[in-house]
Amino acid sequence: MKKIFTGMTAFFCLLSISATSQETIKQKTINVAGSAEMEVIPDEIYVQVELREYDKKAGGKVDIESIKNAFLKAALSIGLSETDISVQGYQGWDGNYWWYKKNKKKNPDLKASIIYQVKLATTTKMDELVQKLDDEATQNFFISRVSHSKIQEFKKQLKIRAVQAAKEKATYLADAINEKPGEALTINEPSEIQHYPQPVYANRMMKVESAQMDAGGTQAVNIDFKKIKLQFEVNVVFAIK
C-alpha cells in the first residue's frame, strides 16, 4: 500500500512539473498589421430623376403617363437598356397614389409624380440624358451614389494583398533580431476602411448652364468624380521560429 501511495505521489509530482514547464515555455509570436489600397474610376453612376405632371402655359395638363413615356424613350435613345432604369417612387401630389388615382377626375389640380433610378456608365451619358429631360416635368435630378462593376473582385484582391503585406512586414521585423516568422496563428478577416467619393450633384439647371456656355463659344462644364478609394487592413499573428 505504501508503495502504491509513493508511486501516485511521484506521478502527480511529474504532472505538476510538466504543467509548470508548459506555463513557463511560451510560444514566441509577432503581431503585425498589413494594408492594401487602390483607386478606381467609377463605371456605375446612379442618378435619381423626379418627374411630375405640370400645367401647360396654353392650358391643360401634361399627364404622368405622357411624361413617363417621353422619359423612357429619351433614356433608351442614348443607349440605356430597360434594366438600367427602375422606379424608386410613384405617388400623387398628396403622397398617396391610390387616393390620387381615385380622385384625379374630381380634382384636376392634383399632380402625380414618379422617381426613377438610372444607372449610367459615364458622365458623358449623364450629360446626354440631362439634355433630353423635359425641364418642366423634371423636379429633381441628382447623383445618389457611384460604384464599379468589378468592386467585389477588387475587394477580394485587396484582402489578399493586405495579408501578403502583413507577412512581408513580419519577415523584415523578425529579421531585425535574427529571427524568422513561422506559421500564421491567427488571421482576422481584413476590415474595410471606408472612403466615400464626392459626386458632383446636378439639377435641371445643368441643361441651361451648359447651353449658355456652348452658345458663348466656351467649353462646356466637364462633370467628373473623384476616384473610388478602396482600402483594407488586417492583423495577423505569426509564430517566431
Per-residue pLDDT reduced to its tens digit, 150-174: 999 999 999 999 999 999 999 999 9
Which amino acid belongs to residue 215?
A
- When pLDDT is cut at 50, 70 and 90, the band that residue 130 belongs to is very high
Tell whether 191 and 239 lie within a shared domain: yes
Q: What is the mean pLDDT of the chain?
A: 80
Among the three residues 118, 147, 176, which one is the final residue of a domain in this structure? 147
Residue 3 per-residue DSSP state? H
* CA 116/CA 48 separation, integer angstroms: 6
What per-residue confidence (pLDDT) applies to 100? 58
CB 234 within 8 A of CB 166: yes
pLDDT tens digits, 192-233: 997 765 554 444 444 444 444 444 444 444 455 678 999 999
Rama region for 82: left / alpha / beta (φ>0; ψ in -120 to 50; rest):
alpha
DSSP state of 219: P
Question: What pLDDT was estimated at residue 104?
Answer: 60
Q: Are 118 and 85 contacting, i.e. CB atoms less than 8 angstroms apart?
A: yes
The predicted pLDDT at position 46 comes to 95
Do 70 and 132 lie in one domain? The reply is: yes
Question: What's the domain count of the chain?
Answer: 2
Q: How confident is the model at residue 12 (pLDDT cuts 50, 70, 90)?
A: very low
pLDDT of residue 13: 52
Q: Side chain identity at 241, as an amino acid letter? A: K
pLDDT band at 56 (very low <50, low <70, confident <90, very high): confident
Domain hosting 219: range is 25-41+149-241
pLDDT value, residue 174: 96
CATH of the domain at 80: 3.30.70
Q: Which of 19, 24, 46 is nearest to 122 (CA)?
A: 46
- The helix or strand, by DSSP H or E, that contains position 194, with its residue range, turns out to be none
pLDDT of residue 201: 45
Residue 101, helix vs strand vs coil: helix
- Contact (Cβ atoms closer than 8 angstroms) between residue 26 and residue 240: no
pLDDT tens digit sequence for 86-105: 999 877 654 555 665 666 66
Co-location of 126 and 59 in the same domain: yes
Residue 14 predicted with pLDDT over 90: no
Please say if the pLDDT value at position 22 is more than 60. Answer: no
pLDDT at 70 over 80: yes
86 and 37 in a common domain: no
Where does residue 114 rank: exposed (0-12), middle (13-18), buried (19+ CB within 10 A)? buried
Q: Give yes or no for residue 17 having a pLDDT over 60.
A: no
In a domain, 3, yes or no: no
